[in-house]
Chain A
C-alpha cells in the first residue's frame, strides 16, 4: 500500500478544513487535506452565500454575533474578490413584534455591530421592490460571499504554500497504537485503491460527516444534524442582503448572488449528513416568507432548491424537535481529554462567516501539540485567487466582444457566459473531469436553464481528452442531480423548463442512464 507521512492530516475540504490547512501552512506545518469527494461538496458549498454582519445573533447568541462582526471585516480584507459588497438591511415589518427592533438595536450597539437606522423613504429608494409595510429599517454591513470562490482560492493558496489537497479519498480506518492515532487508511472513491497517511496529529473537520469520522476512531461527538433548505430565484429583485428584524427564524434572509437571489433557510433536525430531501412544505414556506418582504416574490420563477446540513454542537442531545435554539458557535474536542485517544481532535459547529476564526483556534491547538511557536497570521495574509480572471459576468462579456487580442472564443453556458477556453483551461489543470466540479469552478449550469444545453457541450469538449465511459456516467449523474434540484419547483415556467430539459436529454439526444458507481 502506498503511504506518505505528514505532520498534520485534515479530514474534510470544506471551509473549516481548508481554513485549518491554510493557517497551518502559514505556520510552516507540513499538511495534507483529504476529502471523500470534491471541494465544496458539503455544507460550505450548499450555503446561501451570506457574509453575516453579526446582527442576526445579537440578541440570542452574543458570542457568535461578536465573532461574525469581527470576521466580517477580516474577510473583506483577506478575500475581497469573493465578496460582493451588497450591504444589508434589517427590516421590521408592521406585523413583527414591535419591541424586538429596539432590543436588537441595543444588543448590536453593545457588541459593537454597526447599525444605521434608515427611513422608509431611504429604504424604498434603494430597494424599490420591497414591501411598504416596513415599520423600522437598519443598515448593516452584510455582504454576499461566494463560497466556491473562497474554497477554490483556499485550496490554490494551500497548494502554492506547499500543502497538499487530496480529493476523492475517504478515510476508511484509523490506525491506533497505544491509544494514539498514528495513521489513516484512505480509499480512493475513483478507483477503490487504498493508501496510508501517517501524521502526528489528525483533525476531523468533516462537517456533517464528522460523527462518522469520529466513529472510525471509536469515539463519539455530541453533534446534531440540522437541515437548511434554500431556493435560488431567477433574477435579483434586490441588490442588498435583506434580513428580517425579528428573532432568528426560518426564511428570514434574502441574499443576492451572481445573477440570482437566494432565500433561506429552514432549520429542521435530521438524522444524518445525507438526509437532504426537501419537503414541498419547506418550499411553500420560504416562498411565502419572501412574499412578505418582496410583494410578488412567490410568483417569480424559482430556479432551484437545495439543502445543506449544519453540524451543530448539542451536548444535551435531547431536544430533537428544534435546532434553531442551538448555538451557532463552534466547538473543538480534543479526544485525548474526552476519550483517551491521542492525536485526534474534532472541530464542528460554527458558520461560514467565522471559518477563519475556527481554523485559527484549531491551528493554535495543533501548533501547541507540535510545539511550534509561530503565531496565526491568516487575519492579514490575503487568500490569493487562482491566476485567472474573476468570475464576473461583465468580465466575461467583455471577452466576447471583438478585439485584436482575442481569438474567437465561443460561449458554452449562455446563462453564466462561460466560454470554451475556460472549460479547456479546467481540463488542462485537472487530472479528472467532473461536471459538478467544473460548475463550482466556473458557475457553468447555474443559471436559468440549469445546464440543459451546456452540460452536454462541456462533456462534448471533454471527450477529446478523456475516456468514454466515465464521462457519460458523469454526465448522466450530473444532469440527474441538476434536474432533481428543479423538480421540486414543478409549476409555471419552471415546469416548462423541467419538461423541456427532460425531452432534450432523453428524446432528442437519446441520453440513457449509464450505470456506474456514482448514484
Chain B
C-alpha cells in the first residue's frame, strides 16, 4: 500500500511525484512508456498568446488555470525553478515576460521559462550572431534556419559548418548520438581543438542543442535534447526523494466497492510477464491526452479515459472532433476529464467520481493548450493543486 500513486511519467506526473515526496509522502509512480517530455521542446509555456496576457478572471470557468487558481500557478513555478536549480539545470524566465526561442526552422517559439542554454539567445537580438551547423547531424537545416532567423529580425552575420573529429559517421547522427559522445571529456577536448580556430571573431554562436554549455542552443525535432534533459532531471530528482518508479507497465484502474463512498483502491499493473495489484490511498491520474494514451478516440466517435473509464464528453459526430485545417483551432484540444478545484474528476452531474482520485496535466479538459501556449503551465499548476488536495 502506497500513500500516493501517480500514473503517468510526463511533466505533470513527475512534478507531482516530486512535490508529494518532498512532503514525505510514500509515492509510487507508474508509467506505460516514456512520458511526453521526450518529444517536447523542454521549455515551460505558460501563456504564449501574443494578443493578450494571462488573466485568470477572463478565462472560462472550466479552464484548468481558473480552476487551479493563480496561487497554485505561482507556487508551482517557484517549486519548479527550485527543483531545476537544485539539480544544476537552471531555467531562466518569469510569469510576466516572454522569451523567444529560435526553433530548428528559424521560427520563434514564445515561452515563459527556458533552460539557460536556450534562453541565452535572448541577449543576442540586435547583436551580430553566427549560426553553426554540424556536418552529419540529422534535422539540422542551416540555410532555412538562417534565412528565417533573418526575417525574424536576428542579425545573423555568419553561418559556419562545423565537422566532427574522426571519420565521417556512416549514418546521420541524431542529437542524442552527439550528446552521448560529448559525455566523454577526451572527445570534448578534441572538439575544442578542432573548432576553436573556426570560431575566432564570433561573439555569440547559435548551435543545434547538443552541448548543454553556454552559447545558445537551438532544439532539433525529436529526439530533442532539451525535453530529454528535463525528463532526466525530473526522474533523478524523483528518485532522489525516494519515489518508487515503475516504468513499462500499463495500469488498469481498480474500484473499491466495499464502502459507501465511492473510492478507487489502486490499479492492476500489467507488466510484460504478469499482472499484479498495487494498492494506494490516493491516486493522481496524469496520463495525458490523446497523444500519450490518457484518452482514446474510438471509431464510433466515443472518447474513453484509459485507466478508470471516467466519463468524458464527446461530440455526437466524430467529425466534430477536428476542424478542417491543421492551422485551425482544434476541438479535440478541449476534451478530457472535467475536474473541481481539488482536481477530482467529475461525473456528468458535477460530483467527484471517486473521492480519492485526482488528476493533473494533459488529461484535464477545458483548455486549447496549443493556441494558448499554455501546455506546461497547466501541467505544473494542476499537479500542484492535485498534490495539495491529495495530501490534505
Q: A280-B319, A502-B330 are in contact. Are A510 and B299 (CB under 8 A)?
A: no
Closest to B139 in A: A457
Chain B neighbourhood of A502, CB < 8 A: 326, 330, 370
Stretch of B59-67, B216-224, B245-253, B344-352 on the interface side? B216-224
Q: Is the CB of B172 within 8 A of A499?
A: no
Contacts of A471 in B (CB 8 A): 144
A463 to B325, CA, bound (A): 25
* Interface residue from B103, B170, B299, B325 paired with A298 (Cβ < 8 Å): B299
Question: A408-B168, A511-B105 in contact; A480/B326 too (CB < 8 A)?
Answer: yes
Among residues 485 to 519 in chain A, which have CB atoms less than 8 Å away from a CB atom of chain B? Answer: 487-488, 490-492, 495-496, 498-513
Residue contact A483 to B326, C-beta cutoff 8 Å: yes
Complex contact B325–A499 (CB within 8 A): no
State in angstroms the CA–CA spacing of A464 and B133 once bound together. 13
Cβ of B105: which chain A residues have Cβ within 8 Å of it?
A: 456, 460, 509-511
Chain A residues, Cβ within 8 Å of B296: 492
Query: Are B39 and A480 in contact, with the CB atoms below 8 A?
Result: no
Q: Are A508 and B144 in contact (CB under 8 A)?
A: no
Residues of B within 8 A of A287 (CB): 299
- Smallest Cβ-Cβ distance to A512: which chain B residue: B107
Question: Does A479 sit at the interface, judged by CB under 8 A?
Answer: yes
**Would you call B78 an interface residue if the criterion is a C-beta within 8 Å of the partner chain's C-beta atoms?**
no
B101-116 CB mask vs A (1 if < 8 Å, else 0) is 0011101110000000
Chain B residue nearest in CB terms to A283: B299
Say if the beta carbon of A72 comes within 8 Å of chain B: no
Pick the residue among B109, B144, B332 that contacts A459 (CB under 8 A).
B144
* Distance between A515 CB and nearest chain B CB, rounded to angstroms: 11
| Distance of B334 from chain A, by nearest CB (Å) | 13
What is the CA–CA distance of A491 and B297 in the complex, to the nearest angstrom? 5
In this assembly, does A402 line the interface, its C-beta being within 8 Å of a C-beta of chain B?
A: yes
Q: Per-position contact with A for B295-334: 1 when CB-CB < 8 Å, else 0? A: 0111100000000000000000111011011110010100
Distance to closest chain A CB from B29 (angstroms):
22
Verify B318–A491 contact, CB threshold 8 A.
yes
Q: A460-B144, A503-B370 are in contact. Are A509 and B104 (CB under 8 A)?
A: yes
- Cβ contact of A480, chosen from B45, B170, B327, cutoff 8 A: B327
Given that A456-B221, A490-B297 are contacting pairs, would A463 and B147 also be in contact in the complex, using a CB cutoff of 8 Å? Answer: yes
Q: What is the distance, in angstroms, from B300's C-beta to the closest C-beta of chain A?
A: 8
Does B143 make an interface contact (CB < 8 A)? yes
Which of B171, B219, B291, B317 lies in contact with A499, CB distance below 8 A? Answer: B291
Q: How far is the CB of A497 from chain B (nearest CB, A)?
A: 9
User: With A410-B138, A483-B326 known to touch, is A490 a contact of B321 (CB < 8 Å)?
Assistant: yes
B263 at the interface (CB under 8 A from A): no
- Smallest distance from the beta carbon of B104 to chain A beta carbons, Å? 6
Contact yes or no, B141 A463, CB < 8 A:
yes
**Contact across chains for A504 and B222 when beta carbons are under 8 A apart:** yes
Chain A residues, CB < 8 A from B170: 402, 408
Q: How far is the CA of A453 from the CA of B222 in the complex (A)?
A: 9
Whether A508 touches B222, Cβ cut-off 8 Å, given contacts A408-B168, A491-B318, A496-B291, is yes
Chain A residues within 8 Å of chain B by Cβ, number: 47
Q: Number of B residues contacting the other chain (C-beta, 8 Å)?
A: 47
> Which of A453, A471, A506 is most buried by chain B, counting CB atoms within 10 A of its CB?
A506
- A487 lies within 8 A of B322 (CB): yes
B107 interface neighbour in A459, A468, A488, A510, Cβ under 8 Å: A510
Contact with A along B258-293 (1 / 0, CB 8 A): 000000000000000000000000000000011101
A476 sits at the interface (CB 8 A): yes
CB pair B326 A505 closer than 8 Å: yes
Asked whether any CB of chain A lies closer than 8 Å to the CB of B148, the reply is yes
A460 — nearest CB in chain B belongs to which residue?
B141
CB-CB < 8 A to B109: which residues of A? 507, 510
CB distance from B231 to the nearest CB of A (A): 15
CB–CB A500/B291 < 8 A: yes
B338 within 8 A of A: no
User: Which residues from B are CB-within-8-Å of A498?
Assistant: 322
> Bound state CA distance, A167 and B383, in angstroms?
56
Contact B326 A495 (CB under 8 A): no
Residues of chain A lying within 8 A (CB to CB) of residue B141:
456-457, 459-461, 463
Contacts of A456 in B (CB 8 A): 104-105, 139, 141, 221
B375 close to chain A: CB less than 8 A: yes
B51 touches A (CB below 8 Å): no
- List residues of chain A with CB within 8 A of the CB of B40: 508
Give the distance to chain A from B287, nearest Cβ to Cβ, in Å: 13
Asked if B385 is at the interface of the complex by the 8 Å CB criterion, the answer is: no
A487 (CB) vs chain B CBs: closest residue = B322
Closest A residue, CB atoms, query B144: A463
**Complex interface: chain A residues within 8 A of B224 (CB):** 508
Q: Tell whether B151 is near chain A: CB-to-CB under 8 Å.
A: yes
The answer to whether B342 has its CB under 8 Å from any CB of chain A is no
A470→B317 CA distance, assembly (Å): 37
Which chain B residue shows the least CB distance to A505?
B326
B120 within 8 A of A: no
Q: Which chain B residues lie closer than 8 Å to A511 at the CB level?
A: 105, 107
Which B-chain residue is minimally distant from A502 (CB atoms)? B326
Q: 1/0 contact trace for B95-134 toward A, CB 8 Å?
A: 0000000011101110000000000000000000000000
**Highest count of chain B CB atoms <10 Å: which of A499, A500, A503:** A499
Contact B221 A507 (CB under 8 A): no
Q: Is A439 positioned at the interface, with any CB of B under 8 Å from its CB?
A: no
Smallest CB–CB gap between B317 and chain A, Å?
7
Greatest chain B CB density within 10 A among A402, A460, A471 is at A460
Does A507 contact B327, Cβ atoms closer than 8 Å?
Answer: no
Could you say which of B104, B107, B151, B298 contacts A491, with CB atoms under 8 Å apart?
A: B298
Given contacts A468-B147, A503-B291, A504-B39, 20 further A-B contacts (CB under 8 A): A280-B317, A411-B172, A453-B139, A456-B104, A461-B141, A468-B148, A484-B324, A491-B298, A491-B318, A492-B299, A495-B297, A496-B290, A496-B291, A498-B322, A500-B291, A506-B326, A507-B370, A508-B41, A508-B219, A508-B224
Please provide the 8 A-B residue pairs with the shortest distance between their CB atoms, ordered closest to farther: A460-B141, A510-B107, A463-B144, A463-B143, A483-B326, A510-B103, A513-B327, A495-B297
Q: List 23 A-B contacts (CB under 8 A).
A: A402-B170, A461-B141, A468-B147, A476-B327, A487-B322, A495-B332, A496-B290, A496-B291, A496-B293, A499-B290, A499-B291, A501-B326, A502-B326, A504-B221, A506-B370, A507-B41, A508-B104, A508-B221, A508-B222, A508-B224, A509-B103, A510-B107, A513-B327
